[in-house]
Structures are given as C-alpha cells and as structure tokens.
C-alpha cells in the first residue's frame, strides 16, 4: 500500500500485520466487490471465540446504499471529512445478553467477553482486508445510540465500532487535515510498560526469557 505512515520497529512482523495501518484518505469512486466483502466477512467468521459462542454481528453499509446516510448523519466532527469517501462501513456489534424474544437463546458469557471476541473478529476482518490490498480504518466516533435505533439494532446487541473499507485515495486530493492525519508517526507504548514476566510489576523483556525458571 502506498504512502504508509511511519511505524517504527514493526518490520519484524508477519504480513498482513506488518502492512496494516489506518489510512484516512479513501477513493470515493471505488466500490467493493461481492468477493471482497465475502472474504472479509469470512475472516471475521473464523476468528477465535470463547466457547464458540461467536457473539458478534455486522451491518454492511455501502456508500450510497441503504443505511449509509444514517451513519453519516451521526459521525463525530473528526470523522466527517474522511468516513463518507470509504466504499463501505461495516458496523460491529457485540451480543451482550440473551435475545429476550427467544426462550431457547442461552445468551453470552458476559459483556466483557463478548466485546473481546468482537474485537478479535474485527481484527481478523481488518487483517483480511489488508491482505486484499484494501485500505481499512476502524473508528468509534459516532452516535452509537442514534445509529442503533435508526438501523434497528436490538437492545441485546451493543454497537461499538465502524470499520471503513475501500481503496486508498490520493492524499493530494484530500483536504490538508485529512492528508496530515494519516501521515502522523504511529506511536505505541514500549513493551516493558505493559508486559510483565511471572508476576505483575516485573517488566518483561526478551532477556527475561528463561530467566524466571
């Protein structure tokens, strides 16, 4: 993919993790094929799932298609400049309780576990899209209650994110803020601040491998 934002020290990762980033410039003339949508959904479908409950649901909103205008009406200010150009947005929802209208529904493990599994399915969808050469950018900034109501998401599902999919556009055709946004250096916390070895508070590093035995 072109115009990759800087991503220090990720060269060691396998594809498609290595090439994944979140572009903000989408080509508004591009449309997804049925095969592309089918493949990204299939990847989500095969994500790991606690007890195989698969507590996830997706709502496909194609640009200029049904439901897309509802999402655009409820985007946060920061997302209004770039989300509309994406070929489609896949909304991701976690099942957080049993279906109240289905006495046979055994429900879910818990809200935390459902959101964790939804994150895994969204990551698989995102990585499959990356492997297909698509641009993909997850976002949380929209009025989820309003969108859920307008699109009929039932109350035992919790809408969490949108996943914008499409073809990376020409930054020279984007407004300055959007073009600059995707070129910001990508930063992550150092591993030693969030990885522990053997017990909490003992910072993990490659050198600790084997040392606690």
* Interface with its own copies in residues 82-121 (CB under 8 A): 94, 109, 111-113, 115-120
Residues of this chain, 166-185, that bind its own copies according to CB under 8 A: none
Residues of this chain, 66-85, that bind its own copies according to CB under 8 A: 66-68
Q: Shortest gap between Cβ of 175 and its own copies (angstroms)? A: 21
Residue closer to its own copies, measured from CB, 3 or 120: 120
2 lies in the binding site for its own copies (CB under 8 A): no
Residue closer to its own copies, measured from CB, 37 or 98: 37
Both tokens of 171, joined, read 């930054």
The β-bridge partners of 26 are 168
Residues of this chain, 10-29, that bind its own copies according to CB under 8 A: 10, 12-14, 16-17, 20, 22
64 lies in the binding site for its own copies (CB under 8 A): yes
Residue closer to its own copies, measured from CB, 100 or 154: 154
Asked if 197 and 56 count as a contact pair (C-beta separation under 8 A), the reply is no
Please, what's the b/e burial string for 167-185 (b: 16 or more CB within 10 A of its CB; e: otherwise)?
bbbebeebeeebbebbeee
Q: Shortest gap between Cβ of 98 and its own copies (angstroms)? A: 15
Contact region for its own copies (CB under 8 A) — 98-106, 122-130, 164-172, 173-181? 122-130
Q: Shortest gap between Cβ of 2 and its own copies (angstroms)? A: 19
Member of 24, 79, 161, 178 binding its own copies (CB under 8 A): 161
46 lies in the binding site for its own copies (CB under 8 A): yes
Asked if 74 and 146 count as a contact pair (C-beta separation under 8 A), the reply is yes
How many chain residues are in contact with its own copies, going by CB under 8 A? 91
DSSP state of 61: E
Please, what's the b/e burial string for 103-133 (b: 16 or more CB within 10 A of its CB; e: otherwise)?
eeeeebeeeebbbbbbbbbbbbbbbbbbebe
165 lies in the binding site for its own copies (CB under 8 A): no
3-state secondary structure 72-139: HHCECHHHCCCHHHCCEEEEEEEECCCCCCCCCCCCCCCHHHHHHHHHHHHHHHHHHHHHCCCEEEEE
Member of 25, 43, 75, 108 binding its own copies (CB under 8 A): 43
Question: By CB neighbour count within 10 A (0-12 exposed, 13-18 middle, 19+ buried), where does 134 fall?
Answer: buried
């Amino acid at each position: 993919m072109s115009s990759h934002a800087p991503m220090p020290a990720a060269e060691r990762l396998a594809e498609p993790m290595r090439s994944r980033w979140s572009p903000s410039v989408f080509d508004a003339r591009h449309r997804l094929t049925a095969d592309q949508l089918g493949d990204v959904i299939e990847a989500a479908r095969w994500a790991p799932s606690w007890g195989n409950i698969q507590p996830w649901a997706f709502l496909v909103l194609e640009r200029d298609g049904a439901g897309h205008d509802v999402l655009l009406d409820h985007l946060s200010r920061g997302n209004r400049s770039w989300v509309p150009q994406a070929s489609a947005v896949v909304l991701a929802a976690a099942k957080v309780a049993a279906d109240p209208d289905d006495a046979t529904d055994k429900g879910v493990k818990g809200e935390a576990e459902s959101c964790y599994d939804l994150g895994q399915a969204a990551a698989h969808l995102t990585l499959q899209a990356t492997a297909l050469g698509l641009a993909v950018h997850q976002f949380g900034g929209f009025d989820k209650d309003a969108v859920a109501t307008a699109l009929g998401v039932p109350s035992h599902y919790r809408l969490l994110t949108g996943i914008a999919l499409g073809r990376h556009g020409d930054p020279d055709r984007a407004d300055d803020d959007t073009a600059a946004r995707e070129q910001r250096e990508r930063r992550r916390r150092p591993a030693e601040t969030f990885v522990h070895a053997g017990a909490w508070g003992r910072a993990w590093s490659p050198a600790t491998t084997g040392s606690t035995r």
